[in-house]
Chains A and B, each alone.
Chain A
Amino acid sequence: MDNNKIDVEQSLQLINTMINKAKNSFHDTGVGAMLWGSVIAICAFVKLSEIYFNYRLPFDINLLTLLAIIPQIFITLKEKKNRKARSYDDRFLDYIWLAFGIAIFLLIHVVNLTFAAWAPVSSEYKMLTGHASPFKFSEFVLPLFLILYGIPTFITGAACKFKPMFWGGIFCWLCSIITVYTNYQVDLLLTAASAIIAWFIPGLIMEKEYRQAKKEEAKNYV
């Protein structure tokens, strides 16, 4: 009996997937995308202001990204609760964003460890030559993050035929290449722009579409 219930649910999932595909639509609340778009943009802007106005916060503003994980967990749980069926679109997207989360976490580790290895070489270079090394590893960190930002955004946009994210992903990659040739301040500006264009704006559009879909659903039930 129980098994039979699961079968019926999975059957409905399949139908749901087909309907969604047929409509070429992507319905998500968009809140998660807005959250991360704004958090990354705020971090970049605050870092930029620290450099520009020559002040230092008593903590690293990037820690805000760790704090943002808490509301994200609540958003995910709420969305899962409201979701009637978990389609194959959802599964694919879940795996992509899970892998992205792991990759970001690993990238932070790899960057920190590489930094730790590079720092003594850099200071030795400065001691021997009397001037700082022309190679600054920190200037190459943000392009690496921008590559990763582009991957799940592009794939989500392409798989769900959701153009704002598709182009947002491409924008991240373009910025990734540009930031290699620009200074750290411009890198931060482009990172903020990427977060807004790739996540915040698509999130706003998704949220609007989601609300509209909910309204239509309610109308159909009446």
Chain B
Amino acid sequence: MTDSSFSPQDSLKLIQGMIDKARQDMGDNSQHFLLWGWVSFIGCVGQFVLKTILHYPQHYLVWLLTFPAAIISIVMGQRQHKQKLAVTYLGESMKHLWIGMGISYFVLSMILTRMGWGTSIFPFFMLLYGLGTFISGKFLQFKPFVWGGLMAWVLAILSTFFSYDQQMLFGAAAILISYIIPAYLIRRKNATER
């Protein structure tokens, strides 16, 4: 290998290119973030309205929304997989991260099914919101995700000082800051760079 064939500048460009490509892929996959972000946001706010304003006893049923969302997410994922031309290492790492996060949400839901959905559950979800977005943000060098993740963690701690009803609103705020807003920002960044 000679300098003329692969200079340090070339390798740096390649590294930056890999990060940019992974960030762009994440922007292209932002539908998943937006889908789950909005579903969770509607779930939190919807449950709050049903419980505290309408006094509906089965207020938690609003979370059934996650079942059609899961089907839509799988269909979207399959479509994207077919269209994908190249797989990058960073892209693969992100995939593993979010598969891990998905399984964790599923396991937490299983625990809460047994624990009862009326218990203080929102801080634990907020913890996981922060975990996935913080790692993604650090790895892709995209600050809105890093700050969103950190804010979700702060909200998780703060929410423990409030009642179950109020925790729903904390959950909605955490999902807005850590998923929805960064997803729109990464989309906008991709659009302007193209």
Chain A residues with a Cβ under 8 A of chain B: 4, 7-8, 10-11, 14-15, 17, 21, 88, 91-92, 95-96, 98-100, 102-103, 106-107, 109-110, 113-114, 117-118, 135, 137, 140, 143-144, 147-148, 150-151, 154-155, 158-159, 169, 173, 176-177, 180-181
Contact = CB atoms under 8 A, between A and B. Distances in A.
Contact of A106 (B10, B12, B89, B156): B156
Contact of B160 (A8, A95, A113): A113
Contacts of A11: 6-8, 10-12
Contacts of A88: 15, 18, 89-90
A159 B104 contact: no
Contacts, number: 124
Given A151-B100, A180-B110, A180-B114, A109 B12 contact: no
B135 A143 contact: no
B114 A181 contact: yes
**Mostly helix, strand, loop or mixed at chain B's interface?**
helix
Contact of B131 (A99, A159, A181): A99
B46 to A, nearest CB: 23
Interface of B: 6-12, 14-15, 18, 89-90, 92-93, 96-97, 99-101, 103-104, 107-108, 110-111, 114-116, 119-120, 123-124, 127-128, 130-131, 134-135, 138-139, 149, 153, 156-157, 160-161
B89 A144 contact: no
Given A7-B8, A95-B135, A99-B131, 13 more contacts: A7-B9, A10-B8, A14-B15, A88-B89, A98-B138, A106-B127, A106-B153, A106-B157, A118-B120, A144-B108, A148-B104, A154-B96, A176-B107
